[in-house]
Structure 1
Amino acid sequence: MPILKQCTMDFFERERDRISTVIVPCGSLEEHGPHLPLGTDTLHAQALADAVAQRHPVWSAPPLWYGVCRSSSAHPGTVGIRSATLRALVLDVVEGFVRQGMRQVVLLSGHAGGTHMATLLDAGEELLERCPDLRMAVLSVLDLGRAAWSTIQETPGDSHAGEVETSLMLHLHPKWVQGTAEEAYPTFPAHILVRNKRAYWRSGVWGNPPAASPDKGRRLLEASVAALIELIEKLKAWEEPNHP
């Protein structure tokens, strides 16, 4: 089971010629409504990476626990980092894996905030320039789920502490789920930056928690595993064209 936090040096040395792909889960410490744990994003990404590593020859790395949290920054429990900090951390971690023989790296983010994802993409582009032999994929769990969850997810636009994440936590960590919450969505004004962000997103829910169930969480995770394995196989076979 190539989950890196459980591996010894000797095991890693024996297996790294055979396994040259690593998934780096990225997450956040962020409010997830009144009912889900602050670590939901990281727990989701880590569980998905570990599940893939149990079925496919990839390494599952320990997660990056902190992310760029803009919309939820005023909510209790959210502790974010700057884009520059996340970018530097990703550059260092991925270059460390490249030095250890990895040739494919998947940055898998459980946190799908726009500024956060733009930071991961920016770091990924620089890594392609720094490491000529590296193949990279950068995506969020929501990117993966848009197609993978189409027959499972019922709530259109559900994205944060709603049907999907509540279902996943009921499946993965049911004892950490504290009841439920009402369906809700943020009301931020278009294009205008606001200081009092909580005034426009009181509950911190973006979706429909009452539509969640443990079985739905199991099916969502299984669909994500299959979709991520398919992406990894595509990444391993990826060849850049030689002409513009």
Structure 2
Amino acid sequence: MIIEEMTMGEFEAGLKVTRTILIPFGSVEEHGYHLPLSTDTIQAYEVGKKASRLIPLFVAPPIHYGSCRSTSCHPGTISISTATLKALLKDIVRSLYGQGLRNVIVLTGHAGGSHRMALQDAGEELLHELAELKIAVLTEYDLAAREGRKVIETEGDAHAGEIETSRILHSHPDLVKGTGAREFPNFPVGMLVRNKRKYWPNGVWGDPTKASAVKGKQIEELVVAKIVELTDFMDKFTDD
């Protein structure tokens, strides 16, 4: 049940079937010279849509903006503050709760540390505010790390590399411009730097040359399966 495509009546009918919703979070962020700026958003939204074809599940319109620190100097990255990100998630969940939703899956395609922590902090605060809320905050990596590593060849692949290039080759091949090149950043340990691009010139963390649409399909299916499992788990979960 894709909310942006539903009518008021369809939404009302959907609440009789499920009270669970997935909110896809992404970013407008560089992904090398070969992948679109919306790569993170595309991945999370595609997973939600595919899962909703298998089980009753509301899927909210994706949030295209995130907190992007390491890539803030790269062309095309548009970042928001962690405070804005927290407030945005909290407002959205409060509104969904008011509409009758009770189980919220926050799936973020962007896995930056500050971005993820802001979403987790917001979720923790909402738990204390909304008595019947169940909420999960996780990245796609959390869902498919173990099984996905059986598919991926590149050790330490993380951003615009083998994994993400494979995903976009599968779901949106027309948006992939070339093959990209292997790169790993060399940030000085523990140091906060102003000119981040000096230590990460091309914005790739991994090896996109090893990507394929077949791998992308396998990884996407793994994440979708985990979302289906999580949805069932949330229905039964209680921590009272």
Give the alignment of 1:131-142 within 5 angstroms.
131-142=130-141
Structure 1 match to 2:225: 226
Deviation at 1:145, TM superposition (A): 2.0
Judge conservation of contact 1:24–1:105 (CA < 8 Å) in 2.
Answer: yes
Task: Work out whether 1:200 is the aligned partner of 2:227.
Answer: no
Q: How far apart, CA to CA, are the structure 1 residues paired with 2:234 and 2:20?
A: 9
Structure 2 match to 1:26: 25
Q: How far apart, CA to CA, are the structure 1 residues paired with 2:196 and 2:176?
A: 25
Task: Work out whether 1:73 is the aligned partner of 2:72.
Answer: yes
Q: How far apart, CA to CA, are the structure 2 residues paired with 1:201 and 1:165?
A: 17
Q: How far apart, CA to CA, are the structure 2 residues paired with 1:162 and 1:150?
A: 13
> Which consecutive segments of 4 or more residues in structure 1 shift more than 2 A?
none
The residue type equivalent to 1:7 in the other structure is: M
Give the alignment of 1:165-244 within 5 angstroms.
165-241=164-240
Render the CA deviation track for 1:10-51: whole Å, top value 9, x for unaligned. 011112121100000000000000100000000000000110
Q: How far apart, CA to CA, are the structure 2 residues paired with 1:73 and 1:144?
A: 26
Q: Which range moves more in the overlay, 186-195 or 110-119? A: 186-195
Q: How far apart, CA to CA, are the structure 2 residues paired with 1:38 and 1:15?
A: 33
The residue type equivalent to 2:123 in the other structure is: G
Render the CA deviation track for 1:186-229: whole Å, top value 9, x for unaligned. 11111110000000100100011011001111111111111111
Judge conservation of contact 1:28–1:68 (CA < 8 Å) in 2.
Answer: yes
Q: How far apart, CA to CA, are the structure 2 residues paired with 1:156 and 1:10?
A: 48
Q: Report the identity percentage.
A: 46
The normalised TM-score by structure 2 is 0.98
Q: Which runs of 5+ in 1 are unaligned?
A: none
Structure 2 match to 1:107: 106
The residue type equivalent to 1:16 in the other structure is: L
CA-based RMSD: 0.8
Render the CA deviation track for 1:52-79: whole Å, top value 9, x for unaligned. 1111111111011100000000000000
Give the alignment of 1:21-170 within 5 angstroms.
21-170=20-169
Q: How far apart, CA to CA, are the structure 2 residues paired with 1:153 and 1:82?
A: 32
The normalised TM-score by structure 1 is 0.96
Judge conservation of contact 1:21–1:58 (CA < 8 Å) in 2.
Answer: yes
Judge conservation of contact 1:91–1:123 (CA < 8 Å) in 2.
Answer: yes
Q: Which runs of 5+ in 2 are unaligned?
A: none
The residue type equivalent to 1:78 in the other structure is: T
Deviation at 1:147, TM superposition (A): 2.2
Q: How far apart, CA to CA, are the structure 2 residues paired with 1:237 and 1:153?
A: 33
Tell me the SS of whatever aligns to 2:23.
Answer: strand
Q: How far apart, CA to CA, are the structure 2 residues paired with 1:78 and 1:209?
A: 20
Q: How far apart, CA to CA, are the structure 1 residues paired with 2:238 and 2:172?
A: 39
Deviation at 1:150, TM superposition (A): 2.9
